[in-house]
Amino acid sequence: DVSLPTKKVTGILLLIVISGSLFSACQFAYKDAKNKKAFSPYILASRFATYTPFFNLNYFALAAKEHQRLLSIANTVPYFQLSVRDTGIDTYVLIVGESVRVDNMSLYGYTRSTTPQVEAQRKQIKLFNQAISGAPYTALSVPLSLTADSVLSHDIHNYPDNIINMANQAGFQTFWLSSQSAFRQNGTAVTSIAMRAMETVYVRGFDELLLPHLSQALQQNTQQKKLIVLHLNGSHEPACSAYPQSSAVFQPQDDQDACYDNSIHYTDSLLGQVFELLKDRRASVMYFADHGLERDPTKKNVYFHGGREASQQAYHVPMFIWYSPVLGDGVDRTTENNIFSTAYNNYLINAWMGVTKPEQPQTLEEVIAHYKGDSRVVDANHDVFDYVMLRKEFTEDKQGNPTPEGQG
C-alpha cells in the first residue's frame, strides 16, 4: 500500500497552506514596510491570519495594533500655550453618563418621575435642551467630547490634546473615577485619556461605589484646584443589571421599560448625592451622556445603540452644568435651547475650568455662541449626517412615517 496515512496527508496539506500564507503575508508586510519605512509585526500577524483558515485571529492582531497605537498616543503629552482665568470655582466634577435617553427623563418632560433629584436643583443648573452626541457609541463619542478631535476630521492623533492634559498643565489635581470596568475599557481611546489623570480608580460594581472615592478626592490638597471625572456605567444595557434591585422604584422589574427607567432614577439618585457632597464648596458639576439609545418595542432587546443611519434618539443626550449655592448669582444658569454638540465639549470644559488656549473661545458663553447649531454627527459606519435631517425615532422611516411592525 503506497497511500500515506490520513494524518500525514492532512499535516502536509496544512504545512503547504501555512507556508503559502506566511509567504504572502511576508510579501505584503514587506511592501507595507517599504511604503511606511517601518516594519510592523502586527501587520504581518494580521495579514497571515487573513490568508489562513484562522482568519478570525485577524481581529485580535488588529486590536493589538490599535492598543499599541493608543498607548503611544497616551504617552504623548503636548505642551500648551495656556491662558488660565480665575472662575471663582475650586472643584470641578465632570460626570459622563452612559446610554442615556432624554425621552426617559422627567427633567425633559417624561411622564414618569425619573429625575427628582436633578429637578429639585433646577434653579442651580444651566440646562441644555438640545445637546447631541457626535457619535452613537462610547468609543468615539467620549474622545470627541474630551479631546480636540472632531466629527469632520477624525484622527486619534488629536487625542493628546485633551481636558486632562490641559488641567494637569494648569496645575489642577486630576482624578479619573470609573465604574466602566478596566477590562472593558482596556486599550480603548477612553483609556488613553483616563491614564493621563494623576489618580485613576476603576470599581467593579454599581455606580454608587464611586462616591467614597469622590469623597476621598475632595479631601486631598484642599488648596489645589481639582478636576474629578466620574465615568458612569449609567444605563448601559442590560439596564436591569445597572442598579441594585433594592433601588428599583418602577415595576415590574423584569420589564425592559421599567428597568431602563429605574437605571435613570438610580443615576439621578447618585447625582443628588454628589450635589450634597458639594453644596458647601466652591464647586460645579457638568453632566452629559456619551450618547443616547434607540428604542423599538418589537425587538427582543428594546433599547440598543444606534448603528448605520441612526435616528435622532441615538444622539439626543441630557446635559447640564450645576453650580453650588455658595457661588451665588454670578454664574450663568440660563437655559440653552439651541442645538449644541458634545463634540465641542472639549472647548466647553476648558472654558468652564478657565483653562484655554489663545485661539479658543475663552468663556462658556463664547463657546456656545461659536459652536451652537452645528448638527453634524457620524454614525457607526463613520458616515457624516445632519442630525436635523435624521428620522426622529428608530421606528420611523426616513420621511418620519411609522414603519410596519416597528422595523427601523
The DSSP H or E segment spanning 348 is: helix 345-353
117 and 19, same domain (yes or no): no
Looking at residue 73, its pLDDT comes to 75
Who's near 205: CB < 8 A, 6+ residues apart? 179
Is 243 part of any domain? Answer: yes
31 and 160, same domain (yes or no): no
140 and 88, same domain (yes or no): yes
Nearest to 293 by CA among 105, 26, 123, 62: 105
The DSSP H or E segment spanning 357 is: none
95 and 27, same domain (yes or no): no
Is 386 part of any domain? Answer: yes
Q: Is 391 left (phi over 0), alpha (psi -120 to 50) or beta?
A: beta
| Domain-terminating residue out of 74, 96, 122 | 74
257 and 329, same domain (yes or no): yes
155 and 59, same domain (yes or no): no
Is 305 part of any domain? Answer: yes
175 and 293, same domain (yes or no): yes
pTM comes to: 0.83
| Domain-terminating residue out of 46, 74, 102 | 74
Is 268 part of any domain? Answer: yes
62 and 189, same domain (yes or no): no
**What is the C-alpha R_g of the chain?**
24
309 and 344, same domain (yes or no): yes
Is 204 part of any domain? Answer: yes
What CA–CA distance (Å, rounded) separates 352 from 360?
Answer: 12
Host domain of residue 298: 83-406
What CA–CA distance (Å, rounded) separates 194 from 369?
Answer: 29
165 and 293, same domain (yes or no): yes
Looking at residue 317, its pLDDT comes to 99
Q: Are 291 and 315 in contact (CB under 8 A)?
A: yes
Is 1 part of any domain? Answer: no
- The CATH number assigned to the domain holding 344 equals 3.40.720.10
| Domain-terminating residue out of 37, 55, 74 | 74
208 and 353, same domain (yes or no): yes
pLDDT means per 10 residues in the chain (408 residues)? 55 62 60 53 45 44 58 83 95 98 98 98 98 94 96 92 97 96 63 93 95 97 95 94 95 93 98 98 98 96 92 98 96 96 98 96 96 96 94 79 49
152 and 292, same domain (yes or no): yes
If one counts the domains in the chain, the total is: 2
CB burial readout 181-195, b (16+ within 10 A) else e: eeeebebbbbbbbbe
Look up cell 465639549; give the residue: 345
The DSSP H or E segment spanning 385 is: strand 384-386
